[in-house]
Homo-oligomer: A and B are copies of this chain.
Amino acid sequence: MSKQYTISDLAEMYDTTTRTIRYYEELGLLQPKRIGGRRIYSDRDRVRLKLILRGRRLGFRLDEIREMLEWYDLDPTEVYQLREVIRKGDEKLAQIDEQIRDLQAVREELLELRDHMQRLLDEKTREGEKS
């Protein structure tokens, strides 16, 4: 019994706006059903929206995200397409791995900086105790 959602259900659920969701549809990232004029979102649509928003948070552009979403519903009998997706997917994986490494580097540096600040702060507060 796949659930149904209105556009504002989803907007609230994922803390975004209806304008944004309609914009994603304009770009072809979502294709909700219509009842009358109104958009009806399935669970599949909901999951796609979730993926889109996560992708955005991670700095991917919307056309990159659209391409990756398309990988999930390509024709599984087209050998050429399969090969292409595997190749592009490997590229994306390499890119993601680098991004993770970069983030871990930033993390380390921030931790060091934090420790440094903490030591300075400790000195200062001990100094204050002496008076």
| A interface residues with partner B (beta carbon < 8 Å) | 54-55, 57-59, 68, 71-72, 76-77, 79, 82-83, 85-86, 89-90, 92-93, 96-97, 99-100, 102-107, 110-111, 113-114, 117-118, 120-121, 124-125
Interface pair B110/A57, CB less than 8 Å apart: no
Q: Is the CB of B120 within 8 A of A92?
A: no
**CB<8 Å pairs between A and B, sample of 25:** A58-B99, A68-B110, A71-B113, A71-B117, A72-B113, A79-B124, A82-B117, A82-B120, A82-B121, A82-B124, A83-B121, A85-B113, A85-B117, A86-B117, A86-B118, A86-B121, A89-B113, A89-B114, A92-B110, A93-B110, A96-B110, A100-B100, A100-B104, A100-B107, A103-B103
Give the number of copies in the complex: 2
Q: How far apart sit A102 and B118, CA to CA, in the bound complex (Å)?
A: 29
The main secondary structure of chain A at its interface with chain B is: helix
Partner of A97, one of B68, B89, B97, B107: B107
* A93-B114 in contact given A58-B102, A58-B106, A102-B58 (Cβ < 8 Å): yes
CB distance from A105 to the nearest CB of B (A): 8
Q: Give the nearest-CB partner of A90 in chain B.
A: B114
